[in-house]
Amino acid sequence: MTAILKVDTIQDTAGNNIINESSNTITIGASGDTISIPSGATITNSGTANNFGGGKINQVVTQTLTSVTSISAGSFVATGLTLNITPSASNSKIYLVASISTSGSSSDYNQSMAFFRGSTIIGAAADAGNRIGSMSQSRTNDSIADSVVLTFVDSPSSTSQLTYTVKLYGEAGITHYVNRTGGDADQAHKGRTTSTITALEVLA
């Protein structure tokens, strides 16, 4: 014969609530308790339960580049803005954001930038003939340092250490700089700058 035990509250021998149900809310333990899940056990959302942990930020890694970098053109070249992150789960997303300050030795020039995961470009448009695909393009002059912000959500499907880098593809024939103006005049209003890159692991 099947037996059914109906209770509102289960207590330990000291009278402390272990499980309590009230107004469709089930409370396990009390404030200060430690709830242990055995190794190998899995908690799953079998329906459409809310607030079940997805979309939460698990870790944040950031790096700031303060030094000046000089880059010759002709291909995507590392700017010095890079970081490493190791996802805790293979289905995590990596949200990337970078702010990079650049200039060039010419009074009029083009620059393109993109994120790379290892040696693979990510988040960029496809090449079109001789026109390279990138995430951004700017055209400015040698008297200012132009700041560009890049963002992308990557799905690396990996729990190995990942290296993300911002690379620059500059117009040929000039030198491109990170964190300084092209002319680099010794004047207060043409100061040095910093660039940053941040990666956030977002749980699935």
Answer whether residue 118 is part of any domain.
Answer: yes
Q: How many domains does the chain have?
A: 1
Q: Show pLDDT as tens, one digit a residue, over the chain (204 residues).
A: 677 777 777 777 877 777 777 777 777 777 777 777 777 776 766 555 665 566 799 999 999 999 998 888 678 999 999 999 999 999 999 999 999 988 888 777 788 899 999 999 999 888 877 677 887 777 666 667 778 899 999 999 999 999 999 999 888 888 888 888 777 767 766 677 899 999 999 998
Please indicate, yes or no, if residue 49 is contained in any of the structural domains.
no
d(CA 133, CA 112): 8
Under a CB-based contact definition with an 8 Å cutoff, are residues 167 and 156 in contact? no
CATH of the domain at 166: 2.60.120.1340
Question: Is residue 19 included in any domain, yes or no?
Answer: no
Determine, yes or no, domain membership for 22: no
Looking at the domain assignment, is residue 27 inside a domain?
no
- Domain extent at residue 134: 57-202
Does residue 43 form part of some domain? no
Please indicate, yes or no, if residue 29 is contained in any of the structural domains: no
Contact 109, 168 (CB under 8 A): no
